[in-house]
Amino acid sequence: MVGANGIWCPESSFPVRHPVFSQTSVGHVVVVRGKIHDYLAMILDFTHQDGALKIDMKYYIQGMLDEFPFEVKSSQTTPWTEKLFKVQEDAKKLDEERRSIFHTFVMKAMFMCKRARPDIEPAISFLSSRVNDANEGDWKKLLRVMSFLKGTIDDVLTLEADDTTTLTWYIDVAFAVHGDMRSHTGAVFTMGKGAIIGSSTKQKVNSRSSTESELIGVDDKIAKVLWMKRFLEWQDFAVKLNIIYQDNTSTIKLEEKGKASSGKRTRHFDIKYFYVTDLIGRDEVKVEYCSTDEMLADYMTKPLGGGKFKLFRDRIMNLQGKHHRIGQQECVGQNINPSKVK
């Protein structure tokens, strides 16, 4: 892999075909070989015999906690409450000093959650929209995230690829959960265990139904779905299937049959949202049903709590043995009851 500061390569990837790896440096870029790499605040650990990659940012989190100018207690078991997406309009605005601190640490957390802590993505997605107009309610939400990070600092994202050569995407939408009645799209990408990509974004347009919002959600993420497939194919990775899992059967039918299948309630849908129909016809992607109880992307759409929070967080982070046994992440039609997760 090539980055801005160097070329790092796990020993397990040899023999290397590119002649650049036979050198110790290329201009100002240093070649580093081995199974443990310190790269952009991440410790990339390839030492595990099962081929897993651990992405450790514990030192980065500790640095955040040390730099934060207020006391942080590790008392929170979730990074949010059910009011995460609710703006407290009557709350007092932060003074400029604390607003600047708020902005800084939300951005630090965003850097981290995009690399090694996708479990806080929904919180950071919302808080990043509040950096210019933050109030006391937003400040409390940031403190809760910091408290959660302190209590879970030893939880490390572990990525594992199975032998199916299948790209698996979970895409889900929470309908009209924001104050302006816009919906929220969540996506999780995995190749076996652990979330390689986690995404949580507010939709840019309003929709009139959950079916429409789910269609918009797939359109929001389809460019990334295609890009990932192309990227891996250019690395000589033979992609067998590129699957998008959704939990709305009406949306799936529209995506498979196209605009022509629209009825009275769906004929107003913008035709651009049916781009996925063409991709299905060209075997670029396959859309399949996944029950809500197994829909990992549900974690990215709303502030979950209780057993479902624990279940989905453990799968997204691939925390072996944390709360339950982690199995291969795919929808197989057998529902897991989140209420049984302690």
What's 250's domain CATH number?
Answer: 3.30.420.10
Region 33-53 average pLDDT: 90
Region 44-67 average pLDDT: 94
Q: Are 80 and 145 in contact (CB under 8 A)?
A: yes
Angstrom distance (rounded) from CA 116 to CA 195: 9
Q: Are residues 229 and 294 in the same domain?
A: yes
Q: Determine, yes or no, domain membership for 189.
A: yes
Q: Determine, yes or no, domain membership for 325.
A: no
Q: Are residues 178 and 304 in the same domain?
A: yes
CA angle at 322 for the pair 328 and 41, rounded to the nearest 5°:
90
Q: Are residues 132 and 224 in the same domain?
A: no
Residue 6 confidence (pLDDT) above 70: no
Q: Determine, yes or no, domain membership for 116.
A: yes
Residue 263: predicted pLDDT: 56
Q: Are residues 197 and 217 in the same domain?
A: yes
Residue 262: predicted pLDDT: 62
Q: Are residues 234 and 177 in the same domain?
A: yes
Q: Are residues 313 and 173 in the same domain?
A: yes
Q: Determine, yes or no, domain membership for 327.
A: no
What is the tally of structural domains in the chain?
Answer: 3
Whole-angstrom CA distances from 141 to 36, 124, 226, 318 are 35, 10, 34, 25
Q: Determine, yes or no, domain membership for 262.
A: yes
Residue 342 confidence (pLDDT) above 70: no
Q: Are residues 167 and 314 in the same domain?
A: yes
Region 106-118 average pLDDT: 97
Q: Are 170 and 288 in contact (CB under 8 A)?
A: no
Q: Determine, yes or no, domain membership for 330.
A: no
Q: Which of 151, 183, 212 finishes a domain? A: 151
List, in order, residues 6 or more apart from 314 with CB less than 8 Å away: 322, 323, 324, 326
Q: Are residues 146 and 174 in the same domain?
A: no
Q: Determine, yes or no, domain membership for 324.
A: no
Region 128-149 average pLDDT: 97
Q: Are residues 137 and 169 in the same domain?
A: no
Q: Are residues 18 and 65 in the same domain?
A: no
Q: Are residues 88 and 191 in the same domain?
A: no
Read off the pLDDT band of 27 (50, 70, 90).
Answer: low
Listed in order, strand segments (DSSP E) in 109-224 are: 157-161, 166-174, 184-190, 192-193, 197-202
Task: Point out the least confidently predicted range of 105-114, 147-156, 249-258.
Answer: 249-258
210-246: burial string, b at 16+ Cβ within 10 Å, e else: bbbbbbbbbbbbbeebeebbeebeeeeeeeeebbbbb
Q: Are residues 145 and 172 in the same domain?
A: no
Domain that holds residue 146: 58-151
Stated length of the chain: 342
Residue 4 confidence (pLDDT) above 50: no
Residue 42 confidence (pLDDT) above 90: yes
Q: Determine, yes or no, domain membership for 100.
A: yes
